[in-house]
Chain A
Amino acid sequence: MAKVLFEGVSKRFGDVAAVDQLDLEIADGELLVLLGPSGCGKTTALRMVAGLEEVSDGSLSIGDDVVNDVDPKDRDVAMVFQSYALYPHMTVARNIEFPLRQQRMDAAERTAKVAEAAGTLGLGELLDRKPGQLSGGQRQRVALARAIVRDPKVFLMDEPLSNLDAKLRVQTRADIVSLQRRLGTTTIYVTHDQVEAMTMGHRIAVMQGGKLQQVAPPEELYERPANTFVAAFLGSPGMNLLEAERVGDKLITPAGEINVPEHLSAVLDGPVTLGIRPEGLHLSTSGLAGTILLVEMLGAETQVHCSLEGGATVVVRQGHDAQRPTLGDPVVVGVDAAALHAFGPDGTRVAGT
Chain B
Amino acid sequence: MPATEVQATTRPRSHSRKATLKTVLRYAFLTLGAFIVLFPVYMAVVNSLLEPSQIAHQPPPFFPTNPQWHTYPDAWKGGSLGIYLRNSAIQTAIIVAGQLVTSILAAYAFAFLDFPFKRAIFFAFLMTLMIPFEVTVATNLTTVTSLGWFNTFPGLTVPFLATGFGVFLLRQAFLQIPRDLKEAAQLDGYGHMRFLWSVAIPLARPAIAALGVFSFLGAWNQYLWPLLVTGNNNAVRTVQIGLKQLLNTQLDQINVSLAGTIIAIAPLVLLLIVFQKQLVRSLTAGAVK
Contacts and interface: CB of A to CB of B under 8 A. Distances in A.
B105 interface: no
Interface in A64-78: 72-73, 75, 77-78
B189 interface: yes
B184 A79 contact: yes
Interface string B159-190: 00000000000000000001011011111111
B263 interface: no
Nearest to B185: A98
Interface string B65-99: 00000000000000000000000000000000000
B194 interface: yes
Given A87-B199, A88-B203, A102-B194, A73 B187 contact: yes
A52 B188 contact: no
B203 A73 contact: no
A85 B185 CA distance: 9
B193 to A, nearest CB: 12
Best-buried of B183, B190, B202 by chain A (most CB within 10 Å): B183
A89 interface: yes
B189 A89 contact: no
Contact of B187 (A77, A82, A83, A87): A77
A323 interface: no
A contacts with B: majority SS: loop
A83 B129 CA distance: 36
A99 interface: yes
B190 A87 contact: no
A179 B189 CA distance: 24
B187 A79 contact: yes
Contacts of A88: 203
B187 A50 contact: yes
A150 interface: yes
Nearest to B190: A102
Best-buried of A72, A82, A103 by chain B (most CB within 10 Å): A72
A150 B183 CA distance: 16
Contacts of A103: 189
Given A73-B189, A150-B188, A87 B181 contact: yes
A102 B203 contact: no
Given A88-B203, A102-B189, A52 B181 contact: no
B180 A81 contact: yes
A73 B185 CA distance: 9
A103 B194 CA distance: 13
Contacts of B184: 79, 81, 85
A87 B183 CA distance: 12
A2 to B, nearest CB: 16
A99 B188 contact: yes
Interface string B210-231: 0000000000000000000000
B178 A98 contact: no
Nearest to A156: B187
A79 B189 CA distance: 12
B131 to A, nearest CB: 36
Contacts of A99: 188-189
A69 to B, nearest CB: 15
Contact of A52 (B178, B183, B189, B190): B183
Contacts of B178: 83, 85
Given A89-B203, A102-B194, A72 B186 contact: yes
A52 B179 CA distance: 11
A281 to B, nearest CB: 44
A172 to B, nearest CB: 19
Interface in A42-86: 50-52, 72-73, 75, 77-79, 81-83, 85
Contacts of B187: 50-52, 72-73, 75, 77-79
Given A81-B180, A83-B180, A85-B180, A52 B186 contact: yes
Interface in A174-212: none
A350 to B, nearest CB: 44
Contacts of A78: 187-188
A85 B183 contact: yes
Contacts of B185: 98
A154 to B, nearest CB: 11
Contacts of A51: 187
Contact of B186 (A73, A98, A150): A73
Contacts of A50: 183, 187
B181 A73 contact: no
Nearest to A89: B202
Contacts of B183: 50, 52, 72, 79, 81, 85
A81 B190 CA distance: 17
Best-buried of B181, B184, B199 by chain A (most CB within 10 Å): B184
Contacts of B198: 98
Contacts of A87: 181, 199, 203
Nearest to A102: B189
A73 B202 contact: no
Given A88-B203, A89-B202, A98 B181 contact: no
A141 B133 CA distance: 53
Nearest to A100: B188
- What are the 4 closest A-B residue pairs judged by CB atoms, nearest first? A85-B180, A73-B189, A99-B188, A102-B189
Given A98-B185, A99-B189, 5 more contacts: A72-B183, A72-B186, A85-B180, A85-B181, A102-B188
25 contacts: A50-B183, A50-B187, A51-B187, A73-B188, A73-B189, A73-B191, A75-B187, A78-B187, A78-B188, A79-B184, A79-B187, A81-B183, A81-B184, A83-B178, A85-B178, A85-B180, A85-B181, A85-B183, A87-B181, A87-B199, A89-B199, A89-B202, A99-B188, A103-B189, A150-B188
Interface of A: 50-52, 72-73, 75, 77-79, 81-83, 85, 87-89, 98-99, 102-103, 150
